[in-house]
């Protein structure tokens, strides 16, 4: 039997990063992987908040080789061979079945929200096969003992109460004792199975399924006449983004990596999944494309370079997420939906909290409460978005809860960390979270103009990015003066914010 302080199950980016931090804290760490790197993984789109968290974790725990992953510019200079994609913002197009897409004159069927002022400071899409492999190698270099091709069957208890992981590696028996176990193996992962943890699900959340693959030869929307916005100059190139095609019953993502590979997939409610016969894979994909002519044209010459993956149930929530000598990363405790790219920042927040717990010897109870509360809060938001897909005017208004909370959290963490403790998506802010719940389109379909005004009023205390502005007609660029004008909301004077932004942004 091999003895460690910490055993981490799953070597995705979360497990490897936590393993590196634990080594920096002086722990003996093993990282256990079922497969072999490089291997495919989902969860490919980061966010500005994720970039800030990577910077702060790298600085706090002396991981200078990880820090360049925080932004596109530094990533490209430090690791040009680790594939990522440029993500300048969030792009949404609302499609109607059987009709070609055309940008409405008032832009009411399109939403553009910039996430960065330049390519240099942009966040990224992650080709996870590259990124996860890179981080595993970094963990090994820091002294983490890495074992791949491991099959774990059970968790036993040693005489001293420490957990013992029991399984095989390449056909040979394997027993690993650890003082603490972290599950980083994803939803419905190892500890959920080994401990018999019941899934709880999310209250009033729609049943959804997904189908996705990687493709090549997918043209850009900005090269297609259907998406031409006329004389308007968008706040960023519309394809250098997390690009979403929205339709009644679901949505589609299109993420571009720097090597020409495209990640694309659909997430749809069960009704549309049955109509498409989603379980059939590629034939279902072709049936979907036939419904939306402009999307079909974009993917007409595309070629899938891996098998289609069907997820018969997208969302998952464990009933518990931590115990006396174990914890799940947020990515293992719950999974909601790829919409709004919440997975990577939520995992990084979990790493930050677990690292603080390991360094200070705190108990897991608060970690579990925070992890599940944020998952429930995010699921309520995503459920409201699904309810609003058929009413894009409501969706664009309700989406502001995410963009306001995300931009506030990013700026507060950078400029005044004491003001940043409101939880993911404002989950720890009672006023904000109750408004998000009360105004959910899942509760009722409202008059669009009145609804947008209510959302704007609820978001105003955290709005430091000039959002919720009807005069911008669903096109939001980055204007640092918006943050200066909202300086008091972050607890700082405007002149001080302007000075800090000038240094931080290099403007």
pLDDT of residue 442: 83
Domain with CATH 3.50.50.60 in the chain: 2-62+128-197+318-360
**Separation between Cα atoms, residue 15 and residue 132, nearest integer Å:** 9
Q: Partners of 146 in the beta sheet?
A: 31
Bridge-based pairing of strands 110-114 and 89-94 is: antiparallel
Provide the token pair at 58: 């790298």
Q: How far is the C-alpha of 453 from the C-alpha of 448, rounded, in Å?
A: 9
Among candidate residues 336, 335, 370, the one with its CA nearest the CA of residue 350: 370
What integer pLDDT is reported at residue 154 of this predicted model?
A: 95
| Structure confidence at residue 362 as a pLDDT band (50, 70, 90) | low
Per-residue confidence at 90, pLDDT binned at 50, 70, 90? very high
**Whose CA is closest to 388, among 439, 314, 329, 463?**
439
Q: CATH 3.40.50.300: does it fit domain 2-62+128-197+318-360?
A: no
Decide the pairing of beta strands 208-216 and 309-311: antiparallel
Handedness of CA 195, 351, 336, 215 (dihedral sign): negative
- Residue 229: what pLDDT? 84
What span, in angstroms and rounded, lies between the C-alpha atoms of 274 and 222?
32
213-226 residue pLDDT tens: 999 999 999 999 99
> Is residue 131 reached through a cis peptide bond, with omega within 30 degrees of 0 on the bond before it?
no
- Integer Rg of the chain from CA: 22
* Angle subtended by helix axes 448-459 and 400-415, to nearest 10: 20
- Predicted confidence at residue 422, as pLDDT, reads 85
What is the arithmetic mean of pLDDT over 154-169? 92
User: What number is the average pLDDT over the span 325-339?
Assistant: 97
Task: Give me the mean pLDDT over the 86-111 stretch.
Answer: 97
Q: Is the pLDDT of residue 232 over 60?
A: yes
Please list the residue range(s) of the chain that carry CATH number 3.30.9.100.
84-125+206-311
- State residue 142's pLDDT score: 98
- Kind and range of the H or E run holding 333: helix 330-333
When pLDDT is averaged across residues 225-236 and rounded to a whole number, the result is: 91
Categorize the per-residue pLDDT at 16 as very low, low, confident or very high, splitting at 50, 70 and 90.
very high
The CATH number of domain 84-125+206-311 is 1.20.1560.10: no
Does the pLDDT of residue 368 top 80, yes or no? yes
Tokens 């006449």 belong to 225
User: Could you tell me the pTM of the whole model?
Assistant: 0.96
pLDDT of residue 419: 73
The length of the chain in residues reads: 507
- What per-residue confidence (pLDDT) applies to 230? 83
CB 267, CB 389: distance < 8 Å: no
Q: Of the candidates 10, 241, 16, which has an alpha carbon nearest to the alpha carbon of residue 134?
A: 16
- What is the pLDDT averaged over residues 75-80? 98
pLDDT of 145 higher than 80 = yes
Is pLDDT above 60 for 507? no
Output the pLDDT for position 1.
Answer: 60
- What does DSSP say about strands 262-269 and 163-169: parallel, antiparallel, or unpaired? unpaired
């Amino acid at each position: 039997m091999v003895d460690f302080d910490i055993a981490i199950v799953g070597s995705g980016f979360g497990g490897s990063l936590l393993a590196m931090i634990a080594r920096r804290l002086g722990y003996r760490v093993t990282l256990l992987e079922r497969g072999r790197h490089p291997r495919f993984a989902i969860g490919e789109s980061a966010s500005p908040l994720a970039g800030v968290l990577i910077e702060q974790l790298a600085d706090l725990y002396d991981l200078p080789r990880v820090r360049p992953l925080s932004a596109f510019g530094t990533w490209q200079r430090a690791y040009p061979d680790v594939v990522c994609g440029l993500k300048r913002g969030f792009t949404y197009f609302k499609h109607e079945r059987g009709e070609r897409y055309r940008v409405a004159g008032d832009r009411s069927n399109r939403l553009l929200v910039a996430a960065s002022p330049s390519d240099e400071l942009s966040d990224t899409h992650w080709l996870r096969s590259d990124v996860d492999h890179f981080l595993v190698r970094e963990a090994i270099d820091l002294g983490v003992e890495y074992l791949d091709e491991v099959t774990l069957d059970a968790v036993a208890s040693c005489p001293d109460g420490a957990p013992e992981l029991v399984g095989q590696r390449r056909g040979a028996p394997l027993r690993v004792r650890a003082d603490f176990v972290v599950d980083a193996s994803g939803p419905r992962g190892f500890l959920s199975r080994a401990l018999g943890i019941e899934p709880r699900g999310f209250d009033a959340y729609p049943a959804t399924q997904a189908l996705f693959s990687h493709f090549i030869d997918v043209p850009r929307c900005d090269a297609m006449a259907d998406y031409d916005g006329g004389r308007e100059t968008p706040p960023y190139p519309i394809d250098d983004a997390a690009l979403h095609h929205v339709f009644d019953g679901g949505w589609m993502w299109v993420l571009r990596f720097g090597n020409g590979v495209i990640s694309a997939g659909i997430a749809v409610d069960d009704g549309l999944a049955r109509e498409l016969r989603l379980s059939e894979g590629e034939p279902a994909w072709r049936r979907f494309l036939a419904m939306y002519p402009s999307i079909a044209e974009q993917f007409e010459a595309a070629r899938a370079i891996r098998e289609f993956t069907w997820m018969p149930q997208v969302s998952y929530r464990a009933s518990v997420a931590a115990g006396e000598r174990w914890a799940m990363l947020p990515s293992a405790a719950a999974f909601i939906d790829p919409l709004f790219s919440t997975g990577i920042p939520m995992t990084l927040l979990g790493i930050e909290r677990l690292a603080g717990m390991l360094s200070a010897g705190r108990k897991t109870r608060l970690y579990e409460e925070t992890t599940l509360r944020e998952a429930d809060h995010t699921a309520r938001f995503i459920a409201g978005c699904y309810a609003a897909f058929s009413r894009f005017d409501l969706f664009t208004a309700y989406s502001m809860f995410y963009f306001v909370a995300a931009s506030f959290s990013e700026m507060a963490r950078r400029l005044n960390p004491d003001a940043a403790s409101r939880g993911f998506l404002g989950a720890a802010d009672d006023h904000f979270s109750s408004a998000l719940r009360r105004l959910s389109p899942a509760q009722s379909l409202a008059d669009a103009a009145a609804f947008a005004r209510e959302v704007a009023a609820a978001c105003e205390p955290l709005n430091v990015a000039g959002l919720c502005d009807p005069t911008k007609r669903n096109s939001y660029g980055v204007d640092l003066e918006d943050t200066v004008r909202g300086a008091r909301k972050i607890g700082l004077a405007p002149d001080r914010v302007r000075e800090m932004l000038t240094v931080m942004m290099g403007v």
